[in-house]
């Protein structure tokens, strides 16, 4: 996964093994940063990596 890659919500769902509403809840609560291009929501790969790292630290 490249740091400058933009992921779709479906790709994030697949990587985290979560449902669509859960991913949108993470975006809405600003725990997972995203950008909107036109009507499309994209999540930077770096933001997903940072989110996972943060959650791992919190769980430790």
| pLDDT (tens digit per residue) in 1-60 | 676 899 999 999 999 999 999 999 999 999 999 999 999 999 999 999 999 999 999 998
**Overall number of domains in the chain:** 1
CATH code (residue 37) = 1.10.1660
In a domain, 1, yes or no: no
Per-residue model confidence (pLDDT) at position 3: 67
Per-residue model confidence (pLDDT) at position 59: 92
pTM over 0.85: yes
**Tokens in use for 5?**
């890659």
In a domain, 22, yes or no: yes
> What is the C-alpha separation between 41 and 49, in angstroms, rounded?
17
Per-residue model confidence (pLDDT) at position 9: 98
Q: What range does the domain containing 27 cover?
A: 6-59
Chain position carrying tokens 């809405």: 28
In a domain, 44, yes or no: yes
């Amino acid at each position: 996964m490249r740091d400058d890659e933009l992921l779709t919500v479906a790709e994030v769902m697949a990587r985290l093994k979560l449902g669509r509403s859960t991913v949108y809840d993470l975006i809405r609560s600003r725990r997972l940063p995203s950008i909107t291009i036109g009507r499309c929501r994209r999540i930077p790969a770096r933001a997903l990596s940072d989110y996972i790292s943060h959650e791992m630290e919190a769980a430790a």
